[in-house]
Structures are given as structure tokens and as C-alpha cells.
Amino acid sequence: MQIVLKYKIIPYICTVKQNGMNIVSHKRLANCYNLHPDAELGLQLWYKIASAAKWKCFADIKKDFNSVDSIGNQRYVFNIKGNNYRLVVVIQFVHQYIYIRFVGTHAQYDKIDCNTI
């Protein structure tokens, strides 16, 4: 399939992952646990569970992560390592995509506005 736009041909690329949620981008998690090695186990566990999940709604997330909070606008906050770290993601249930918007310490989280990241 191709999309023609202003007389240029652009190939349409679609990736489909059948196993679970598609997570964009793991690099943000890696950057965090490279700076904070004590967060690595918690972030890797979150990634393993989330990438294998097939969440259809907030209740499905709650089954896997009881402490998750919905903050509106498709954004969800996960507590990592006993609430020492926070992970803010955008989840599109229909497309099965998770977009990592923020990962950092609880103190860093307190300084951001989750609705603008």
C-alpha cells in the first residue's frame, strides 16, 4: 500500500505484533535504569508484563498493576519499586500501543505536568 502526497510516493509501513502490547520506547526505560540501577529490576518487570499483556481497558491494567492510576487523556501512572520511581505512559487500547512519556524518580515526577508531556 502506498500513500501519494504532493506527488511524492511514500511507502506505508505497518507493523503488527500479535503477542501483546507494543511499547514505544524501551530506550527511555534503559536511560532511567542506567542512571538509577536500583530501578532496573522494577522497570524490566513492568516491561515484561506490559509487553505480554493484551489490555482492552483500564480494568485490565488494574489486574496486572493494582497501583496504576488513570490521570485522563489516555495517560496512566505506574509506581515502580515501591513508589520510588514513576512511569507515565499513554495507552491506546484499540491499537495496542503504549507510549512511554516519562520515567524518573518520584521527586522528578512531582515537578512535571503529566498532561503536557
59-110 tens-digit pLDDT: 999 999 999 999 999 999 999 998 899 999 999 999 999 999 999 999 999 9
- Which backbone phi and psi does 113 adopt, to 5 degrees? -105, 110
Question: For residue 98, what are the β-bridge partners?
Answer: 23, 91
- Residue 9 counted as domain residue: no
Cβ(87)–Cβ(101) under 8 Å?
no
Host domain of residue 29: 20-110
d(CA 115, CA 117): 6
Task: Please give the grid coordinates belonging to residue 97.
Answer: 500501543
Omega before residue 51 within 30° of 0, cis: no
- Residue 83 counted as domain residue: yes
Residue 81, domain CATH: 3.30.2310.20
User: With a threshold of 0.85, does the pTM exceed it?
Assistant: no
- Residue 8 counted as domain residue: no
